[in-house]
Structure 1
């Protein structure tokens, strides 16, 4: 069923004029680089430092759980190995489940979303949704890979907030957060 949904998306929602946009979006989400950059940027100012720390922790948890643990453990092959399709980006070499792009982008986005109450969070959420959808659009993940990635990313955001809250009264963390 997963492959059938993906084929339906490919047959009905993929348009050559949108290909460069979705390649750009998925590449922008690569390796969590934007999330790392944004986290460090937020850590510069004292007022947003806590958010930056929580975002960075969420991103690191996501990388650990998804890329270093679940992907090798589950070892699900990507959809293009079972369905002949011309990919418009280089073939990823790692496994499919869960989506690392979806997990990482939702980890830092949701961490921002639950710690900052401004309009930027809505823009980040739209960006996260676009990155997750791009993985389906480009035929490199199954829908369940993306949904699992989103769920894991959101869980990592809550876990990172809990961890940072638990340790924020420790002297080393107080010094960092108030520096």
Structure 2
């Protein structure tokens, strides 16, 4: 476990020393902020719910997001209680607002991927790919801003993808049953 912690610290310090630039230091906190409290994911769900053609996809995305939120914020974070990396590594400097919850797993990343995965699996590729790219950018911003360890982001992404895949498969199964009943 200690080797993993050292490797993760090394990755974060490498990002800080080699990838940070003045202009990205201004942009990346905003990239994270757009999904504070899952707001971008919630807005995505609302847009889908209002878009008549994709209303059922919106319901599916809502289900995925609700399950992801429950797993990440109500089950894992309070039980694991992983300290944020900028508190542990004195050479690491947080960009953006000070997070108030625990680090593992990344809720920003999980919520973004929960909705994006549903969009990728249930909508035309242009929408899903755009959502996945936005989610990946949010995930990277969490590392760039030193708000999370790499495993926080990776596990948040996996939880989001898994909830998105399960919700999408249930949606497709439901759609198939509805179409067979016609």
For the aligned pair, the TM-score class normalised by the smaller chain equals 0.7 to 0.9
Q: TM-score, normalised by structure 2?
A: 0.86
How much does 1:164 deviate? 4.2
Cα gap change, 1:15 to 1:32, in 2 (>3 Å) = same
Residue 54 of structure 2 corresponds to: 48
Residue 108 of structure 2 corresponds to residue 109 of structure 1: no
Q: Which runs of 5+ in 1 are unaligned?
A: 175-179
RMSD: 1.9
Distance 1:30 1:144 in 2: 19
Distance 2:135 2:18 in 1: 22
**Residue in structure 2 matching 1:6, options 4, 12, 15:** 12
Q: Which runs of 5+ in 2 are unaligned?
A: 1-6
Q: Which moved more, 1:47-56 or 1:79-88?
A: 79-88
Distance 1:123 1:163 in 2: 23
Cα gap change, 1:120 to 1:168, in 2 (>3 Å) = closer
Deviations 1:85-107 (A, max 9, x none): 33232221211111111100000
Distance 1:168 1:36 in 2: 23
Distance 1:8 1:75 in 2: 25
Residue 148 of structure 1 corresponds to: 155
